[in-house]
Amino acid sequence: MMNKQHEVQNLTFEGQWMILTVDHQTYRLPIDQASSRLAQASDSDRNHYQVSPSGYGIHWTMLDEDLSINGLIRLAQAQPVQSTVS
């Protein structure tokens, strides 16, 4: 029996951002830093993905792209905190 590394609850794209909810935490990261293939892809290609059964990564068949969940989380955590200025 394989232990699941991560549980991906949701993955969406808003403008130039990837919003990934994994293990009940939501991460926001720039698409172009995650993957140049995703950054150049159409919305329909971006939204056609599969999460690996082990929860290790995400695969985009149409783009021949694979990204690890750990790598995406590290990238999101490395982003500067966004503050709002009023």
Would you give per-residue pLDDT tens digits along the chain (86 residues)?
Answer: 567 899 999 999 999 999 999 999 999 999 999 999 999 999 999 999 999 999 999 999 999 999 999 999 999 999 886 555 55
Rounded Cα–Cα distance for residues 32 and 6 (Å): 23
Tokens of 73: 């989380």
Q: What is the CATH code of the structural domain delimited by 8-77?
A: 3.30.2020.40
pLDDT at res. 12: 97
**Cα angle: 7, vertex 48, 55; to 5 degrees:** 20
Q: Residues 37-72, buried b or exposed e (16+ Cβ, 10 A)?
A: bbeebeeebbeebebbeebebbebeebebebebeeb
Question: What is this structure's pTM?
Answer: 0.86
Domain extents for the chain? Answer: 8-77
